């Protein structure tokens, strides 16, 4: 795990951050985004390379989330470090205080980084034995106190977790990688789509007896549906890791972000999932996330505030 001291040693100066970003983006040397040519020379005052093939002058930040930013790169690196390294992430308010920018600026920076996390997670599928369930996140339901699939005002999140062997005979499996996604409802279309997207065909899928999960077998999955009845004992026995994962997600959202807007929830869920699936890679989390930020689809503040709520 990269310590704060080590981070400051590596990235305490702005020029070091630019050099590091250049090595991440072009490990073999500058590559022109227009023609693929190499660098004729580097203009340090403007921080741009000139292509020896077409003459295009390009910066290492062009086409990335750092493009035309007024925030120093060392502050961007700190935001990447804090979102990637800390188990609880960081709120936009706290980030704004730590790097000395306005709340809207810190909020936008964090969402750009979360977008990179989300796109990385979209490239992965679970395999093997996978337990699947769904649950609601959000505030308490008003009125009659609806719970579970009867809830109205909360957001529905589907959860899948791989079972990994503990390596010890007689011991139950341990949780492997996870996949989480905000879904519009608990219909057959939504839940099957989640499984098809997040779980590799020919995997064994373990669900409860909810009818929306039926029909997975003809689609290439070894599906086992367990009817749980009214009690919670069987759920804990057969679906231990989806419930632990969902519980940890709720604590993360409540503890760090309090109550995120529903239209932005998918990126907060992606942030949680990204760190969860890399809990064995603490030593390289910063490098991996910084590299992801170079190739993600950037998003603007106007797009974020105008985007309708996710279904």
pLDDT of 139: 60
Question: Per DSSP, which regions of 165-238 are E strands?
Answer: 174-183, 204-208, 222-226
Find the angle CA(125)-CA(79)-CA(108) to the nearest 5 degrees: 85
Domains of the chain, CATH where assigned? 4-122+284-306 (no CATH), 129-276 (3.30.420.10)
CA 195, chain centre distance (Å): 18
Tally of CB atoms within 10 A around 45? 5
The burial class, CB within 10 Å (0-12 / 13-18 / 19+), for 259 is exposed
pLDDT of 173: 82
Return the closest-CA partner of residue 241 out of 125, 135, 97, 85: 135
Handedness of CA 146, 232, 167, 128 (dihedral sign): negative
Contact 195, 217 (CB under 8 A): no
Q: Distance (Å, rounded) from C-alpha 30 to C-alpha 27?
A: 8
Name the DSSP class of 49: E
Q: Distance (Å, rounded) from C-alpha 295 to C-alpha 123?
A: 13
- Along the 311 residues of the chain, how does pLDDT read in single tens digits? 789 999 999 999 999 999 999 999 999 999 998 999 999 999 988 999 999 999 999 999 998 999 999 999 999 999 999 999 888 899 999 999 999 999 999 999 999 999 999 999 998 899 999 999 999 997 654 544 445 555 556 899 999 999 998 777 777 789 999 999 999 999 999 999 999 999 999 999 999 999 999 999 988 999 999 987 665 666 667 788 999 999 999 999 999 998 888 999 999 999 999 999 999 888 899 999 999 999 998 899 999 988 564 43
Q: Distance (Å, rounded) from C-alpha 140 to C-alpha 16?
A: 47
Structure tokens at 136: 């609601």
Residue with tokens 């040519």: 37
Is the pTM of the predicted complex or chain greater than 0.75?
yes
Tally of CB atoms within 10 A around 151? 17
pLDDT of 148: 53
Residue with tokens 């005002």: 153
Contact 206, 130 (CB under 8 A): yes
Contact 192, 134 (CB under 8 A): no
């Amino acid at each position: 795990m990269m310590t704060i001291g080590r981070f400051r040693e590596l990235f305490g100066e702005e020029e070091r951050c630019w050099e590091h970003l250049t090595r991440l983006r072009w490990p073999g040397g500058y590559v022109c985004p227009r023609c693929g040519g190499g660098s004729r020379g580097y203009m340090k005052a403007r921080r741009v390379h000139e292509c020896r093939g077409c003459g295009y002058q390009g910066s290492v930040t062009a086409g990335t989330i750092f493009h035309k930013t007024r925030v120093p790169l060392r502050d961007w690196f700190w935001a990447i470090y804090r979102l990637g390294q800390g188990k609880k992430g960081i709120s936009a308010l706290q980030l704004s205080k730590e790097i000395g920018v306005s709340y809207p600026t810190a909020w936008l920076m964090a969402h750009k980084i979360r977008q990179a996390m989300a796109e990385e997670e979209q490239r992965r599928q679970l395999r093997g034995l996978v337990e699947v369930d769904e649950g609601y996140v959000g505030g308490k339901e008003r009125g009659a106190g609806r719970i579970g699939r009867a809830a109205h005002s909360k957001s529905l999140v589907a959860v899948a977790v791989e079972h990994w062997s503990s390596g010890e005979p007689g011991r139950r499996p341990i949780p492997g990688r996870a996949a989480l996604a905000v879904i519009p409802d608990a219909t057959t279309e939504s839940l099957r789509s989640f499984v098809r997207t997040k779980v590799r065909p020919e995997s064994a899928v373990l669900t409860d007896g909810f009818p929306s999960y039926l029909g997975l077998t003809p689609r290439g999955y070894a599906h086992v549906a367990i009817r749980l009845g009214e009690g919670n004992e069987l759920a804990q026995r057969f679906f231990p890791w989806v419930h632990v994962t969902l519980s940890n997600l709720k604590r993360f959202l409540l503890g760090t972000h309090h109550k995120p807007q529903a239209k932005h929830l998918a990126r907060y869920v992606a942030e949680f999932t990204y760190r969860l699936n890399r809990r064995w890679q603490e030593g390289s989390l910063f490098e991996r996330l910084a590299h992801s930020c170079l190739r993600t689809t950037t998003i603007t503040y106007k797009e974020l505030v105008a985007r309708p709520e996710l279904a």
